[in-house]
Amino acid sequence: MTTSKREEMIFSIKNLKTHYPVLGGFFRKQIGTVKAVDDVTIDVRRGETLGIVGESGCGKSTLAKTMMLLEKPTEGKMLYDFNGEQKDVTKLNAGDVFDFRSRVQMVFQDPYSSLNPSKRIIESFDEPLRVHGYKNPAERKQRIIESLRMVNLSEDYLYRFPHEFSGGQRQRISIARALCINPELIICDEPVSALDVSIQAQVLNLMKEIQKELNLTYVFIAHDLSVVQYMSDRVVVMYLGKIVEISEASNLHVNPLHPYTEALLSAVPVPVVNEGKSKRIPLTGDVPSPINRPSGCPFSNRCPKRMDICTQVEPPLQSYGEEDHQVACHLYTKPI
Amino acid sequence: MRKLNSILKVENLTVSFSDGKESTKILKDVSFSVFSGKMLAIVGESGCGKSVTVHSIMQLLPKNGKIDSGKVLFNDGGNEVDLVSMKKYGKQMRAMRGQKIGMVFQDPMASLNPTHQVGKQVMENLMQHYKIPKKEARDKVIELFKLLGIPDPEQRIKDYPHQFSGGMRQRVMIAISMICNPNLLIADEPTTALDVTIQAQIMDLMKELQEKHDKSIILITHNMGLVAEVADFVAVMYMGRIVEYGTVRDILNNPSHPYTQSLLKSVPVMGLDKNQKLATIRGTTPNPKDYVKGCEFAGRCDFAMESCLTRDIPDINLTNSHQVRCLLVEESKEVIAK
Amino acid sequence: SPEKDSTNEDSTKPSNDSVVPAAENGGTLNLVTIDPNGFGERIEPLWLNRGGMHQRLMFRSLFLPDVDLQNLNPDLAASYEGSDDGLTYTITMKDGLKWHDGEDLTAEDVVWSIETVLKATQVNAIYTNAFSSIEGAADWIAGQSDKLAGITAEGNTITVKLDNPVGNFLPVLGQFAIYPKHLLKDENPLEIHNAAFWENPVGNGMYKLEKLEPGNFATFVPAESYEGTKPKIQKIVLTAVAEPTSAAKTGQVDFFNTNVAEFIDSMKAVDNFVAHPIDILFYRYFLVNMEDTEGNVNEKMADKRVREALMYGIDRKSLTEQLYPGLAAVLNTGVPPTFDESYTDAPEYEYNPEKAKELLKEANFDFNETIKLRFYYGDQTSINFMTAVAQYLTELGMKVDVLQFQADPTTELYKVRDYDIALKGLSSFGYEEWYGEYESTNSNMINIFGLDGIFDDGVAKLKETVDAVERKEILQELQKQEVENLYKLPLYTVNSYYYVNEEKLKTAGIYGNPWYNYDMKFEEWEIK
Amino acid sequence: MTTSAIEVKAKKTSLLKIRMKKMRSNKLATIGLLVCIGMTLLSVFAPFITSYDPAQMNLSNITQAPSAEHIFGTDKLGRDVFAQVLYGGRVSIYVGVLSALGGTIIGVLAGAIAGYFGGKIDSILLRFSEIFMTFPQLILVLVLVSLLGQGVNNLIIVFVITGWMTTFRLVRNEFLTVREETYVSVCRSFGIPTSSIIFKHMLPNTMSPIIVAFTVNVAGFILAEAGLSFLGLGVPVTTPTWGNIMNAAQSIDVVTNYWWLWLAPGIAISLFVLAINFLGDGLRDILDPKQ
Amino acid sequence: MLKYIIRKSLVTIPMLFVISIIVFFAIQLSPIDPISYSASPDVAVDSENLEALREHLGLNDPLYIQYYHWIIAVFKGDFGYSIITGQPIAKILALKLPATIELSLLALVISTIIGVAMGLVSAIKPNSMSDYFSRNVAVLGISIPEFFFGIIIIQIFAIQLGWLPISGRIGVNDVTFWDRLPNLILPSFTLAIGMLAVLLRYTRNSMLDVLSKDYIKTARSKGIPEWKVFIFHAFRNSLGSILVILAFRLPMLIGGSVIIEMVFMWPGIGNAIISAVSSSDYPVIMITTMMLASAILVASFLVDVLSAFLDPRIRLE
Ligand SMILES: Nc1ncnc2c1ncn2[C@@H]1O[C@H](COP(=O)(O)OP(=O)(O)OP(=O)(O)O)[C@@H](O)[C@H]1O
Ligand SMILES: Nc1ncnc2c1ncn2[C@@H]1O[C@H](COP(=O)(O)OP(=O)(O)OP(=O)(O)O)[C@@H](O)[C@H]1O
Ligand SMILES: [Mg+2]
Ligand SMILES: [Mg+2]
């Protein structure tokens, strides 16, 4: 495993697996497993934006939730940097979990359901703050106003109900709420997928500004490759619960290695007339179900460059070319 | 270039929705044409009235929606008929639906009846319009399934929608709309619910239908990239109006309405520099109820002038294929004219 | 069948009697049982209740009492002889008696019936009381002998030897229905009442069962085997109704009896029926729970003045007049005031709430205690009665809690015993049952009264005595004791009514206690 | 413990305002509410409305048809039927409301727990409720009444035991849905305690169906009480309730000849239940966020 | 599908088992004495032999042994005897069930036809006059206590108008169903009212629900006539939930007929239950409870199978 020592690691995920049981049969026994996240190893570096991209159902949300300790991992380690001390967050005690939660926050995809419809905005903010040690009500209110300002919302909105806001405003409120307890790392699970393009642009710009301002680290998940590429420093491409490629964002569209990345790139429509059509790499078939994944490389059944070995041996994730460019594909397997 | 025949002409379509006692204009004076064998893309943000437009064409508006005025002239094999004048669920209108105009909806799961076999759902359309034996209808469905790339169609027509993947379901929807071989196909965001790779498959299929089988297509989307790839003509909608209309080149290479311009610039494209800011549109879409007069976009427009809010905005022909509904253009045209 | 055709012909009128198959001649008598559950699928056994008209006509006893239940006429028996000491009876059966199935009815059947009833469970105590005085009965019941020693049959003659005299031995035999041994001898006596026999019972009476349609009806026709005067009525149809008035109006019934106040009220509107009231010994009284299940004295009720207060505080007269008009008579002791043996000095407890309050005060009654008033009759009149009683007691300043028993009344009354006062009924053949409840050997009541046998001698004497004058004396004594102790609060006797459609039916005009066997001269009955 | 010390301004929210407006525009619901309140008040203030004691007998004045003196007539013990109906309402309404309250509390607690945690707890509670549902309710009630004994409060206990399942299932299903709402994940990612998530964050959002179910339950329990009492198995016969008063109408005699004995209490029950049902129906529309 | 049915039916067995245990032990907890029937308090009875009978019947055995004997007997079809009337319970059931089933079925037919039809009309034209009418009928139907409704229609149709008989049921064997019909009309109509109201609401709601689904738009976009949309798409798809409510209500018809049977003096199982309960006839209570519980289980099994049959998403799982 080669990672750059230059940058400081904030969250490092090692061989993480999150599996869901599939129940069925007479006695609702487990008859299978959804390997939603399977053997994922990523390092999140302080201050960067790590993009995660992949098609629906490939395990992006599960990965995010596992990192946020909302799902219990089946296996693996997640080392978080608590002021220089690396602790495995899967084994934390209750107090440390709390500490962890004040350092890591999450923004979810659906702006419409991420605010409690029966609570005023201030109430939605108040309890997290109180739980995280802001004992003084006035201080809390101040903090709320500050974080709303950060997302360009006025304090007039404090006493309104969520249904009085548009999708973009709600997503900004959600971001503000994640920010209000001063986290270091924000995991964003498709924060803009549900928004219109013009609103999406507002939110993306805002997120970038805030990151700069507060020196935040982002894990940014999306299924839209261009958005991820635009937002991220490095991009992780996932397929069926596995990482197939990790690349510098700026390098990804120039030099995609994995055939899946290539296909994904070619499928992204470009708003320029008469281009792109010819280049498209047609992918046949659908993403297989994560319950019965093809043997060997998970992409083997749809891969246009499939070789015999692909259906038998699972390719490991290895660096290829540059140090920060990793790929899991037999085309690039180095003889060991 | 051969002469373009329009298969559908929408003229001054105005639609309103009532909510209890109040009634709100949702579509205002919408006019556009769809040309034979061409694909028209309607783009715009959520809620701008794209779906209402096509539902009005099909007379499938919900109960509280009403076409106030306007015409929908459909070229039925040389005969021009006004769909609006037909009774909503009358024989004439029903003969249009499915047979002359096919429709594909956004969510392929919700749009298929979960309790009917997919083959039956396709056959239902065919047998409604053609008195042919069941067996023959079935064979036709199988044939179409093959054409649309559904593997193993003999078996799969007996399956139920939930046994299909999203992409396959959308193919079935397309089969339903295509089985009677209509000349006009309306697709309301057919790929929004699908992954990019599947979207690419479906769009290739639709393009093929249009090009090889000479169908006219109305494609609703809010993905500018998609428009660029497949459409021939583009109508940009904002708040129930078409603010810009033209060929795909006109719109993408020479966007003339400020709204269109920002729409194009607000989407990140591959390779966009990380440090480059995205163009945004100020504020949010206003409530259609609050509209009084003038340009709906004025409140968010960086170039808004006083007159934008005080006078009716005309459609201005930039070229004979490119129309814009914006006073800026009027002025610059005047300047040019001078 | 021809009957069916005839019903179909006049199906124009949907009257209920279209069910009833028409008789060939002599007419059909329509009887009903009043039961909201409808007709069952069998004829009820007779050892617990001697039963209704149809049962009486199907099954006979050795003797047939007069309407007063005491004077005996021969029935299955031709004659009898009793020894002077009252310990031996010799009974001679008629010759050539037959069961309805043609089998001979012999003295063996009688002996077997008496033996079996001693071991059976669903049995009226008048039989067990009388027959357990037969020599060797204790051993027999305990299973220590395989023969009831005191009773033997030789040819037509039955000899019964008693350990001690039983005053009403012969009247009891006049009630005791003889069952056919040849059909029932293999049944376990404990469960003989559940035998399949009752679905198609073979009797020995004037009529035999013709057909029983479960859930529907039963028909009876004159039995060829009956040796007496042949009856005129050729067919009896028995159906079930939930309430008799509508049935009376539609002609579904020609003759019935009831003691339900509501029916009596509503029958007033039915013109063609004539009501015949009869006095019977169906007591209603309050049982006072004197001891709890652990044997501790119930302080609330211990003082006799409290119990007297209750008697004064409840306006029994108005209640019976209003709730049971013409049906109930106020009772002061176990012998109703209209009877000869009645104790004339017994207090009448006229309604006097002031006196009641005084008595309570004297008795230092704790008005904070709640009196638990219980009952088990579910009919509306009883509910009204109890509600009224509760109100009377409330007016005395008592706290009352009135509830209907939830579990079965027997268990509630005698085992659970979570009450202070309970309304109870008793259908008596004679005064013996009423006073028998005071006996210290009465396994149910002993727990309630906690008696030390003060009534025992008197009751024993009463049971042994036949002579009317002697009996009167004993009864006077018992009533005096009863009044002194006031363990049961007597309320009233519920009488009964016979209703006869006299436009259609001519009876012999003899109406007696419907719960018991007596000679109603049915052979004289006619359909007009 | 102060919850949100930042005082939430009592500014009338648009949501509440909308609901009030909707309520007022829903005539049937408004009438229902007024009738419910009206009848409840009549019962509560019965002594001010009639001078008769419902238990006071007058054996010389029994089964009188309605007259100026006894506007609903008198019953078989000469008691005033109007007074009985008034006082009877107290117990009937009390039983209905308290049983519904108890059933709702149990149903909500169990439903919230089952719905939020899912898994084993959920299956156990679900099975449990299934078993309760499988029992014929009437028999269950009867057996329980015979175990506990008759009495108003025992009847309420019995109703609660036999009547929590519908609310349970409703709340459970609501919670299963609400659990998927993102804001629950948000709460969890902030480390807000589970009990607080369930009761402070999720429960308020399931309140509308619970309120509707509550009104439906009140109606149901009043009917159940009436039915049982009509059969003579509910509240002790001496306690006047609408059902108990009607108990007298079991005989054809009363049905035929003494119509005032059953008509008045029958109408009282029907009217009250009807009013509650209209109110419940109205609330269903009013509280429905989709509308 | 077959596997699904087998699986579902297997689940009902342990449920029945649990219910039988609860029923048995709950009743044992109550002070009811199963043989006290031999000693009505109205008649003087000597109780000496009762002890022998108790021993004979095994009532002195430990409860679990009694339970074992009872459940084995029930499995063999021997339901025991009523302790009040001494009749075999199997016979009581055989006698009473037909009357109740006759009543319930007629009520079912009436309520289904009227309820579903009114619900459909309501849903097709929501907020119209007929919808308004139907909805209020439905509220009325669930608000009026059935005994009150029964008394009123007895008063009107039997007593005042004299069109129909008040009560009772003419024997099964003698006359045809048509002869019994006059007696059936009032009780079955009363019984039908509540069910009708529920079905009406349900049909309306589920139709409205389905009609708002996207696939209805798809169906309309095919140009098929509106009635086909209503019948083949909307009604076909709401049929599932309608049948579910129907099947769930089925046992309640039997249970719910208790009061109706009482009011109309209908000699059915409901009346038997009431008299069993009010006289603490516990063998009858146990068996009828078990019977109703089984009916409910069978109904929910039917619901599962029906929904599976109607909904391929379940069937093909
Ligand atoms: N609680 C769960 N139980 C069982 N399977 C689950 C659960 N949650 C997710 N899955 C499955 O795990 C896989 C990955 O799901 P996940 O939500 O992580 O995908 P995703 O990449 O976020 O997709 P999307 O783009 O649609 O949000 C999917 O196949 C999904 O069906
Ligand atoms: N049934 C309806 N009742 C009232 N208003 C409606 C109804 N349907 C649509 N509208 C309104 O009409 C406007 C246009 O809706 P439409 O569905 O055409 O938008 P769209 O452009 O298709 O958006 P999307 O991209 O989200 O599908 C919206 O403002 C919406 O609120
Ligand atoms: Mg996701
Ligand atoms: Mg749309």
Helix/strand/coil (H, E, C) string of B264-284? HHCCCCCCCCCCCCCCCCCCC
Neighboring chain D residues of C381 at a CB cutoff of 8 Å: 76
Chain A residues touching chain D at CB-CB below 8 Å: 28, 65, 68-70, 97-98, 101-102, 105-106, 108-110, 113-120, 122-124, 126-128, 131-132, 137, 140-141, 159, 161, 163-164, 174, 177, 181
Residues contacting C344, CB < 8 A, separation 6+: none
Confirm if B279 and B295 have CB atoms less than 8 A apart. Answer: no
Pocket test for ligand 2, best of B14, B15, B16, B48 (most atoms within 8 A of CB): B48
C121 touches chain E (CB under 8 A): yes
Q: What is the DSSP letter of E230?
A: I
From the CB of A18, is ligand 1 less than 6 Å away? Answer: no
Over residues D58-65, mean pLDDT = 81
Structure tokens belonging to residue B110 = 């919700």
Chain D residues touching chain C at CB-CB below 8 Å: 55-57, 59-60, 62, 76-78, 145-146, 149-151, 232, 236-238, 247-248, 250-254, 256-257
From the number of C-beta atoms within 10 Å of its C-beta (0-12, 13-18, 19+), residue A115 rates as: buried
**A259-267 vs B196-213: helix crossing angle, rounded to 10:** 50
Over residues A304-309, mean pLDDT = 87
D131 touches chain E (CB under 8 A): yes
Nearest to D143 among E26, E152, E278 (CB): E26
What's the mean per-residue pLDDT of chain D?
Answer: 84
How far apart, in whole angstroms, are the C-alpha atoms of residue E209 and residue E238?
A: 8
pLDDT at C197: 92
CA pseudo-torsion sign E177, E181, E183, E189:
positive
How far apart, in whole angstroms, are the C-alpha atoms of residue C305 and residue C362?
A: 8
pLDDT at C21: 45
Structure tokens belonging to residue D278 = 């209209």
Per residue in C473-494, pLDDT (tens digit) is 999 999 999 998 888 999 999 8
- Structural domains in chain E, CATH included, are 99-279 (1.10.3720.10)
Structure tokens belonging to residue D244 = 């108990």
| Ligand 2 site residues, Cβ closer than 6 angstroms | B 17, 19, 26, 44, 46-52, 62, 64-65, 222, 288
3-state secondary structure (DSSP) of residue C493 = strand
How far apart, in whole angstroms, are the C-alpha atoms of residue E282 and residue A113?
A: 54
Structure tokens belonging to residue D285 = 């529309």
Nearest to D189 among A106, A109, A122 (CB): A106
Half-sphere exposure of C496 (CA within 13 A, CB side): 15
- Single out the residue of D231, D215, D235 nearest to residue D88, CA to CA: D235
| Dihedral class, residue E256 (left if φ above 0, else alpha if ψ from -120 to 50, else beta) | alpha
The helix or strand, by DSSP H or E, that contains position A42, with its residue range, turns out to be strand A29-45
Confidence of residue A3 (pLDDT cuts 50, 70, 90): very low
Confirm if C332 and C469 have CB atoms less than 8 A apart. Answer: no
Per residue in E286-311, pLDDT (tens digit) is 888 888 888 888 887 888 788 777 77
pLDDT tops 50 at residue C19? no
Could you tell me what percent of chain E has a pLDDT over 90?
4
Residues contacting A2, CB < 8 A, separation 6+: A319, A323
3-state secondary structure (DSSP) of residue B176 = helix
Which atom of ligand 1 is nearest the CA belonging to A63? 18
Which residue in chain E has the smallest CA separation from D219?
E143
Chains B and C touch (3+ CB pairs under 8 A): no
Q: What is the DSSP letter of A314?
A: P
Structure tokens belonging to residue A152 = 């360009």
From the CB of A223, is ligand 1 less than 6 Å away? Answer: yes
Least confident window among A287-291, B177-181, C252-256? A287-291
From the CB of A290, is ligand 1 less than 6 Å away? Answer: yes
CB contact under 8 A, B272 and A230: yes
3-state secondary structure (DSSP) of residue D198 = helix
Confirm if C252 and C16 have CB atoms less than 8 A apart. Answer: yes
Superfamily the domain D20-287 falls into = MetI-like (1.10.3720.10)
3-state secondary structure (DSSP) of residue A165 = coil
Over residues B263-281, mean pLDDT = 85
What's the mean per-residue pLDDT of chain E?
Answer: 82
Residue nearest to atom 4 of ligand 1 (CA): A20
Most C-contacting residue of D53, D61, D76 (CB-CB within 10 A), to test interface: D76
pLDDT at E37: 64
How far apart, in whole angstroms, are the C-alpha atoms of residue C201 and residue C197?
A: 5
Residue nearest to atom 11 of ligand 1 (CA): A36
Confirm if B254 and A273 have CB atoms less than 8 A apart. Answer: no
- Single out the residue of C128, C134, C158 nearest to residue C148, CA to CA: C134
Which residue in chain A has the smallest CA separation from D178?
A113
Which residue in chain B has the smallest CA separation from E307?
B115
Structure tokens belonging to residue A27 = 């006695």
pLDDT tops 60 at residue A6? no
The helix or strand, by DSSP H or E, that contains position B187, with its residue range, turns out to be strand B184-188
What are the φ and ψ backbone dihedral angles of C371, each rounded to 5 degrees?
A: -85, 125
In chain D, domain spans: 20-287
pLDDT at B321: 85
CB contact under 8 A, C36 and E267: yes
Chains D and E touch (3+ CB pairs under 8 A): yes
From the CB of A66, is ligand 1 less than 6 Å away? Answer: no
Q: What is the DSSP letter of B97?
A: B
Task: Cite the DSSP H helix spans in chain B.
Answer: 50-57, 91-96, 108-111, 118-129, 134-147, 153-156, 166-178, 196-213, 224-230, 248-253, 258-265, 307-310, 327-337
Over residues C451-469, mean pLDDT = 85
Residues contacting D41, CB < 8 A, separation 6+: none
Structure tokens belonging to residue A164 = 């009085």
Over residues C452-464, mean pLDDT = 86
Over residues C402-421, mean pLDDT = 85
- What is the CA(C38)–ligand 1 centre distance, in A? 63
CB contact under 8 A, D145 and C394: no
Nearest to C402 among D78, D237, D256 (CB): D237
Half-sphere exposure of D83 (CA within 13 A, CB side): 18
The separation between the first and the last C-alpha atoms of chain A, rounded to the nearest angstrom, is 13
Q: Which positions 47-86 of E are in contact with C (Cβ < 8 Å)?
A: 47-50, 52-53, 56, 81, 83, 85-86
How far apart, in whole angstroms, are the C-alpha atoms of residue E206 and residue E246?
A: 13
Cα B304–B308–B309 angle (5° rounding)?
115
Structure tokens belonging to residue E34 = 């199963």
Residues contacting A203, CB < 8 A, separation 6+: A168, A171, A172, A175, A191, A192, A195
Least confident window among C429-443, D83-97, D214-228? C429-443
| Dihedral class, residue B239 (left if φ above 0, else alpha if ψ from -120 to 50, else beta) | left
- Single out the residue of A249, A246, A245 nearest to residue A232, CA to CA: A249
Which residue in chain A has the smallest CA separation from D205?
A118
Cα distances (angstroms) measured from residue C179 to each of C64, C97, C106, C393, E38: 16, 13, 11, 49, 19
In chain B, domain spans: 6-337
Could you tell me what percent of chain D has a pLDDT over 90?
32
Q: What is the dihedral of CA C96, C100, C106, C109, to 10 degrees?
A: -170
Amino acid (1-letter code) at residue C46: L
Residue E241 or residue D172, greater confidence: D172
Ligand closest in space to the Cα of A36: 1
How far apart, in whole angstroms, are the C-alpha atoms of residue C209 and residue C221?
A: 7
Over residues A268-285, mean pLDDT = 71
Could you tell me what percent of chain C has a pLDDT over 90?
40
Confirm if E311 and E236 have CB atoms less than 8 A apart. Answer: no
The separation between the first and the last C-alpha atoms of chain C, rounded to the nearest angstrom, is 25
Cα C316–C317–C320 angle (5° rounding)?
80
The fold for domain A3-327 equals Rossmann fold (3.40.50)
Structure tokens belonging to residue C170 = 């012969």
CA pseudo-torsion sign E255, E257, E261, E262:
positive
Structure tokens belonging to residue D57 = 């007998």
Confidence of residue C14 (pLDDT cuts 50, 70, 90): very low
Ligand closest in space to the Cα of D182: 3
Neighboring chain A residues of D15 at a CB cutoff of 8 Å: 161, 163
Superfamily the domain B6-337 falls into = P-loop containing nucleotide triphosphate hydrolases (3.40.50.300)
Confidence of residue D9 (pLDDT cuts 50, 70, 90): very low
Neighboring chain E residues of C428 at a CB cutoff of 8 Å: 44
Structure tokens belonging to residue C51 = 């039963």
Per residue in D236-288, pLDDT (tens digit) is 887 888 888 888 777 777 888 888 888 888 999 999 999 999 998 888 888 77
Long-range contacts of C96-99 (CB under 8 A, 24+ apart): C96/C227, C97/C204, C97/C225, C97/C227, C98/C204, C98/C225, C99/C180, C99/C182, C99/C202, C99/C203, C99/C204, C99/C225
Q: List, as one string, the DSSP characters of C437-479.
A: TTSTT-TTTHHHH---STTHHHHHHHHH---HHHHHHHHHHHH
Confirm if A218 and A49 have CB atoms less than 8 A apart. Answer: yes
